[in-house]
Amino acid sequence: MPRRRRRDLLEQRRFLAPALIAPAVVFVGLLVGAPLILSVYLSLTNATAGSLTGGFVGFDNYTSQWSDPNFRTAFRNTIVFTLVANAIVVLGASVLAHFLIREFRGRWLMRFLVLLPWAAPVALSTIGFLWIFDSLFSVVNWTLKELSLVDRFNPPQWLGEPNKALAAITTVHAWRLLPFATVIMIAGLASIPKEVNDAAKVDGATGLKKLWFVTLPLQLPIATIAVLFGIVFTATDMAVVYILTRGGPFNSTQMLPMWAFQTGIQGGSLGEGAAVALFLLPVLAIVTVLMLLFARRVEVT
């Protein structure tokens, strides 16, 4: 009888829900919470490589980094890089999703090809772009030369000029994120009831009118989540910049994750590196809260 009473007690929602979610909370706490607490501690000390302890220096690491022109360049580049890359991703994913949702021959093959950039290892695919943007053997430059769009003897140096290098990095990252956003957009379009589309046709809403007044409002909540994930992935990514430019030329493509790595790991200043990495935390937290509130407000019930 007592055993049955305990079993009935566990089946109650107030006990069952915490019991089911507790393993996930513990896992996230250990995986994210512990490194975050350690990073906050290191950012307030003068810890160096080889030691996870140091003397307390308060906010000196933050102020010294803010006065560093390389840090300010990395901060500005991170914001520009994130906004431009996600704008490209949202626009491209919207177009692809509306195309791939239709019935046509070879649709599954097209969906498979669209997903390939997301499935491929980021290091392997980015190394491929090293050849695409190579100063001597660039396939992009070869195409532009054949079309007589650039000087045959002085082609663009995609990874050797500041503005072009930043554009190249942005393009590669947008290419990486496009499949993920496209899948989310397709899921959003597929969730729209068929009756809604039929009613729109009856009311004469076709083409752009249907897109603006019917499809977009219904798709906006899930599109907001796609943008949110894209912002987080882009702002915290280091692999693309590390492989393509290492932050060069002359720190012109420096990003905060890359600058944190160079300062904390390669430079040996763990405290300053942790401070650089934590500059993104309040920005991403504010963006996340605002976008989730926006998604909740525009949610269609």
What CATH number corresponds to the domain at position 292?
A: 1.10.3720.10
- Pick the range with the lowest mean pLDDT from 101-105, 145-149, 178-182, 227-231: 101-105
Any domain includes 56: no
Tell me what pLDDT residue 4 has.
57
- Pick the range with the lowest mean pLDDT from 44-48, 61-65, 69-73, 221-225: 221-225
Q: Please report which residue ranges of the chain form alpha helices under DSSP H.
A: 2-10, 13-28, 34-43, 60-66, 69-100, 107-119, 122-132, 139-146, 162-190, 194-202, 208-210, 216-235, 239-244, 256-261, 270-278, 280-297
* Residue numbers of the domain that contains 144: 69-297
Tell me what pLDDT residue 108 has.
83
Domain count, the chain: 1
Q: Which of 165, 175, 170, 163 lies closest to 246 in space, CA to CA?
A: 165
Any domain includes 123: yes
Residue 269 pLDDT more than 80? yes
pLDDT in tens, 107-116: 888 888 888 8
Residue 156 pLDDT more than 80? yes
Residue 200 pLDDT more than 80? no
Against a cut of 0.85, is the pTM above it? no
CB 19 within 8 A of CB 9: no
Any domain includes 19: no
Any domain includes 7: no
Residue 100 tokens read as 């791939």
List beta partners, residue 45.
Answer: 56
CB 39 within 8 A of CB 236: no
Tell me what pLDDT residue 13 has.
67
Any domain includes 138: yes
Tell me what pLDDT residue 2 has.
55
Which amino acid would we find at residue 47? A
Any domain includes 83: yes
pLDDT in tens, 20-59: 888 888 888 888 888 888 889 999 998 888 777 888 888 8
Any domain includes 96: yes
Residue 297 pLDDT more than 80? no
Residue 103 tokens read as 């019935």
